[in-house]
């Protein structure tokens, strides 16, 4: 239904969150912030606004600019504070009730919650809650948090939230609203990002700084791993409810692909990081070639870095159609045979007769890479060398990134030489995990390293309780599909 510039052959961030306190246009700011975070979830979005008394909810499938373009919808979203959420839904239109923010009337009043991340013991907790009479509205892991809060015997909204979060495992960057204000919290390992900003006297929380830029807000600081911030009329109060800060395990893939290049994440420019990774890759895997061509758009900064470090000229040898997205024609066999190029087109003048270094950020299933290599060869390249600015993705993510099942990951079932052959290139090289850390100014083997790299290494920093119990290994997506199948 929607033009989705994201590639089906990429991993997908599952969510973006936004919250603002103390602005009369809270709903509009939230919609704009979600729009800037659209790359973190394109299938659905929602906003909860409130003045502390009345809570207003609007949730809708589709892109933010459609979901919140109806003036009648916006007029209903009154109140001086708001939270919002973008979702990458895995199971389709039928599950409108899974769109976040979730909302419930609890004994202490209205409560809205939006979550970026994924819990790894939600099923276990849910089973127990249902046994005790809980009615689940959605099939999301997130709802477990609200139920735990509903049955908590502790006083105070923030205290109940802490009580609930102490029982969950997993990755979470959460924004919530209640009658007293908004709350932001990040899991103790800080797997997913969450930043604090301000706009005049208003306070803002968001997944990335680009959500501040769009509305002219100022970046203040990153929320710390394990930190809870409570925002109300008196300002921003910080707590460390899970004990003193532990070593961070921030998702390194945010730098490789997920975050927007113009975001500053945990103190680093994403664009600059990508260029550094590209430069490191040029050192690790040099290549005798005529031109460095990025697979647009995500491969561009790494390609610039590779070109600068290697001295090989950078050119847009592949042009991306601005209007592209889904394949809108039902293909006949004939049409299928043509290999319709909906998204990318070779810029022949810069390919023909050239030895091409193709730069991409990652390979997931490999289907798109194959087609692009074919296209480059058809345009007359004499050699095609693929360079990838991440290590091979060989393990599923359980912390908030939608990955296909392990069996579908090309790097799980093939060696690099096999992949080289599969996608049909003259040479293929991935950056090494060590090289990736080096580009980020860290050492992989240092105990103080601050990144999660489980998708490359299989070293999971948080127990996978729900998944280890299954007879077959399931991804979070599989689990959700399973749940939804009951409806």
* Catalytic site residue from 15, 251, 452, 455: 15
Structure tokens at 124: 């276990």
Q: Alpha-carbon distance 305 to 83, whole Å?
A: 37
| Secondary structure (DSSP) of 236-254 | EEEE-TTSSPPPP-EETHI
Q: Which is nearer to a second copy, 240 or 349 (CB)?
A: 349
DSSP output for 149-200:
HHH---SSHHHHHHHHHTT--EEEEEEEEETTEEEEEE-TT--S--EEEEET
What is the DSSP code (8-state) at residue 255? I
| Alpha helices (H) along 24-89 | 26-36, 64-67, 71-76
> What's the min distance (Å) between Cβ of 445 and a second copy?
29
- Could you tell me if 242 and 224 are in contact, meaning their C-beta atoms sit under 8 angstroms apart? no
- Looking at beta carbons only, is 191 or 303 nearer to a second copy? 303
We find the least distance from the C-beta atom of residue 325 to a second copy, in angstroms, to be 7
Residue placing its CB nearer to a second copy in the complex, 108 or 449: 108
Q: How far is CA 172 from CA 58, 188, 332, 348, in A?
A: 23, 9, 45, 45
Q: Please, what is the minimum distance in Å from the beta carbon of residue 213 to a second copy?
A: 5
Q: Which is nearer to a second copy, 36 or 285 (CB)?
A: 36
Q: Which is nearer to a second copy, 236 or 482 (CB)?
A: 482
- In the complex, what is the shortest distance from the CB of residue 246 to a second copy, in angstroms, rounded to a whole number? 29
Distance, CA of 228 to CA of 166 (rounded, Å): 13
Minimum Å gap between C-beta 36 and a second copy is: 7
Taking the complex as a whole, how short is the minimal distance between the CB of residue 381 and a second copy, in angstroms? 15
The token pair at 315 is 């050119």
The span from the CA of 4 to the CA of 42, in Å, is: 7
Structure-token match 């990134």, residue found: 401
Would the CA dihedral through 228, 229, 232, 233 be positive or negative?
Answer: positive
Q: Which burial class, exposed, middle or buried, applies to 214 when counting CB atoms under 10 A from its CB (0-12, 13-18, 19+)?
A: middle
Peptide bond between residue 132 and the one before it cis (omega within 30 degrees of 0): no
Active site residue 396: no
Q: How far is CA 471 from the centre of its chain?
A: 28
Nearer to a second copy, 164 or 194 (CB): 164
Nearer to a second copy, 212 or 250 (CB): 212
Give the shortest CB-181-to-a second copy separation in angstroms.
18
Q: Which active-site residues does the annotation give?
A: 15
């Amino acid at each position: 239904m929607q033009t989705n510039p994201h590639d089906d052959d990429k991993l997908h961030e599952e969510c973006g969150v936004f919250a603002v306190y103390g602005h009369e246009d809270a709903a509009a700011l939230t919609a704009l912030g979600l729009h800037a975070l659209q790359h973190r979830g394109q299938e659905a979005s929602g906003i909860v606004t409130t003045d502390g008394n009345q809570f207003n909810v609007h949730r809708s499938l589709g892109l933010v600019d459609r979901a919140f373009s109806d003036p009648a919808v916006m007029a209903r979203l009154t109140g001086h504070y708001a939270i919002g959420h973008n979702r990458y839904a895995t199971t389709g239109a039928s599950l409108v009730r899974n769109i976040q923010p979730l909302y419930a009337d609890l004994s202490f009043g209205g409560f809205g919650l939006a979550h970026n991340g994924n819990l790894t013991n939600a099923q276990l907790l849910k089973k127990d809650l249902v046994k005790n009479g809980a009615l689940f509205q959605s099939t999301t892991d997130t709802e477990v948090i609200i139920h735990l809060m509903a049955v908590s015997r502790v006083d105070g909204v923030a205290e109940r939230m802490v009580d609930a979060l102490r029982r969950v495992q997993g990755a979470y960057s959460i924004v919530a609203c209640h009658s007293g204000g908004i709350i932001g919290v990040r899991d103790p390992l800080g797997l997913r990002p969450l930043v604090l900003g301000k706009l005049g006297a208003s306070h803002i929380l968001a997944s990335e700084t680009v959500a501040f830029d769009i509305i002219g807000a100022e970046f203040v600081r990153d929320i710390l791993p394990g930190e809870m911030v409570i925002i109300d009329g008196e300002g921003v109060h910080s707590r460390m409810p899970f004990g003193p800060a532990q070593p961070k395990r921030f998702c390194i893939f945010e730098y490789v692909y997920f975050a927007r290049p113009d975001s500053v994440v945990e103190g680093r420019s994403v664009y600059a990081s990508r260029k550094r990774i590209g430069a490191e890759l040029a050192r690790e895997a040099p290549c005798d070639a005529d031109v460095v061509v990025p697979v647009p758009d995500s491969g561009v900064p790494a390609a610039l870095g590779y070109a600068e470090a290697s001295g090989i000229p950078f050119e847009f040898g592949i042009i991306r159609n601005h209007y592209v997205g889904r394949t809108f024609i039902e293909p006949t066999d004939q049409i299928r045979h043509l290999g319709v190029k909906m998204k990318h087109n070779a810029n022949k003048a810069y390919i023909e007769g050239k030895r091409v270094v193709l730069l991409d950020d990652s390979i997931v299933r490999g289907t798109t890479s194959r087609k692009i290599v074919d296209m480059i060869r058809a345009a007359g390249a004499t050699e095609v060398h693929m360079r990838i600015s991440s290590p091979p993705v060989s393990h599923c993510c359980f912390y908030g990134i939608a990955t296909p099942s392990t069996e579908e990951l090309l790097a799980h079932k093939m060696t690099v030489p096999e992949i080289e052959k599969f996608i049909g290139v003259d040479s293929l090289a991935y950056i090494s995990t060590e090289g990736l850390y080096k580009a980020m100014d860290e050492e992989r083997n240092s105990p103080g390293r601050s990144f999660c790299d489980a998708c490359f290494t299989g070293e999971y920093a948080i127990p996978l309780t729900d998944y280890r119990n299954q007879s077959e290994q399931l991804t979070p997506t599989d689990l959700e599909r399973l749940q939804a199948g009951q409806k």
